[in-house]
Amino acid sequence: MTTRWLRRIPKVELHVHLDGGLRVKTFLELAKQLPHGRRFPASVDLRKAVTPGSTGSLEEYLRSFEYTIAVLQTAEALERAAFELCEDAAKENVVYIEIRFCPLLHTGDGLSPRDVVQSAVAGCARAKDQFGIEVHLLLTALRNESTERSMEVAQLAAQFRGKGVVGFDLAGP
């Protein structure tokens, strides 16, 4: 089995996180665009913050998402992240991918949850057109949130069913 052979065979990716699949280069570019009041402290090594080690707990791993979620608060950033994630997958000959994320975590700069989903769907649709990859979203509610917020995500999943969303997920520590 060679690396070349592994790259060539078609693959399916059923569990990838939008906020966990952000390119480091893109993350650093988006971090520079944050308003001064929301920039990360200079003491934080941003490259290490978004590339956690392979050891540790789920909670430690999920801490890196604090940083990526902070930069994915605009329609443009969300669309770009979704598109680039699909582009990277297509380069590995992934032919089908399901991307999961919690839309409620991306409303800090005033986007509605619906706008968040539409932005991710737009990035996925653009990638599908450009790379031929079949891509769908799973909308995630968080265990540590209220039932009402979980229902909001479930309703979003239902509204976007057949329009880029294939499921609803419950996640978190």
The residue extents of the domains of the chain are: 3-23+74-171
Which tens digit of pLDDT belongs to each residue from 72-95? Answer: 999 999 999 999 999 999 999 999
Question: 63: which 2 tokens?
Answer: 């801490």
58 has a pLDDT exceeding 80: no
Residue type, 59: E
Residues 6+ positions from 33 with CB-CB distance below 8 Å: 71
Residue among 122, 120, 29 nearest 71 (CA): 29
Q: What is the pLDDT of residues 115-133, one digit of tens each?
A: 999 999 999 999 999 999 9
Task: State in words which class domain 3-23+74-171 has.
Answer: alpha beta
This prediction's pTM: 0.93
Closest to 20 (Cα-Cα) out of 127, 133, 102, 141 = 102
Backbone dihedral angles phi then psi of residue 52, each to the nearest 5 degrees: -65, 155
Percentage, residues of the chain above pLDDT 90:
75
Per-residue model confidence as pLDDT tens digits over 9-20: 999 999 999 999
Which pLDDT score, from 0 to 100, does residue 4 have? 87
Helices (H) and strands (E) in the chain, counts: 7, 4
